Amino acid sequence: MSKVKAIVLRAAGINCDMETEYALELAGAEAQRVHINRLIEDKNLLDAFQIIVFPGGFSYGDDVAAGKILANQIVHHLFEPIRTFIDQGKLVLGICNGFQVLVKTGILPGEDSAERQADVTITWNDSGKFEDRWVYLAPQTDRCVFIESGRQIYLPIAHAEGKIVTKDASTLERLTSEDHIAFKYVDQNGNEGDYPVNPNGSIQSIAGLTDATGRVLGLMPHPERFVRPTHHPRWSREESVDCDGMTIFNNAVRYIRENFGLKPLPKKEPLTL
């Protein structure tokens, strides 16, 4: 095996799978889009991959609640195989709808017990509308392998249900004390703020979560939508544009290469203008 292999999970209503596949391939992975029904039929398919991505979209039309039906499929058919996948040192990424799925399965923030799955959820934006804008994100942990420590990034969001809430104050304290907060929404200067800096009203401006291993990441913004300089809203007016979304995918591929005995990719210059 010479290439990092990533699976991009598909289901009815998922619509960011091709962009996610492209971003993974830019990072040097061999990515494959696989429908959830194929994975349920043959759970051993996961053995051939080191990264699984739950991409964005509107799985099953976000019926009941965003990500809820797909989350139920995972809980009843794939929870243990995915748990084993994580225990093997592999990586899981959930983007937007995929993040909603990971939270509603309990994979994030990392509770195996069904009784604890309701401690954290993602619900309707405070604005009462679909938010489609660009946001700044500040990393909050050094533990998550997807994150470049200390690097503030700029990514687009597109969601109506992106507000992270906790059951109570003790749950929020646990997220903080156990280092589960991956990203927070901030302004250009790195400061937290009200809407639109925090576009959905998430408690303590939380934009993403990680688990205890640091090998599972979920975030509401879309890194796969900023992997080329021309994706940036000011690409024609900036002297240089770093493709911030690629940091997530590059770090994932690099981690697998370094920890699964794969040769490093030839060093290449980042895409900039």
- Residue 96 is a catalytic residue: yes
Q: Please tell me the total number of residues recorded for the chain in this structure.
A: 273
Q: Which domains does the chain have, with CATH numbers?
A: 5-259 (3.40.50.880)
Which one of 16, 21, 96, 232 is the catalytic residue?
Answer: 96
- Residue 77 is a catalytic residue: no
- Residue 222 is a catalytic residue: yes
Which one of 222, 231, 232, 243 is the catalytic residue?
Answer: 222
C-alpha atoms less than 13 angstroms from C-alpha of 242 in its C-beta half-sphere:
7
Answer for the pair 56, 158: CB distance below 8 angstroms, yes or no: yes
Which one of 16, 224, 231, 232 is the catalytic residue?
Answer: 224
Tens-level pLDDT at each residue, the chain (273 residues): 589 999 999 999 999 999 999 999 999 999 999 999 999 999 999 999 999 999 999 999 999 899 999 999 999 999 999 999 999 999 999 999 999 999 999 999 986 544 555 799 999 999 999 999 999 999 999 999 999 999 999 999 999 999 999 999 999 999 999 999 999 999 999 999 999 999 999 999 999 999 999 999 999 999 999 999 999 999 988 778 889 999 999 999 999 999 998 876 666 655 555
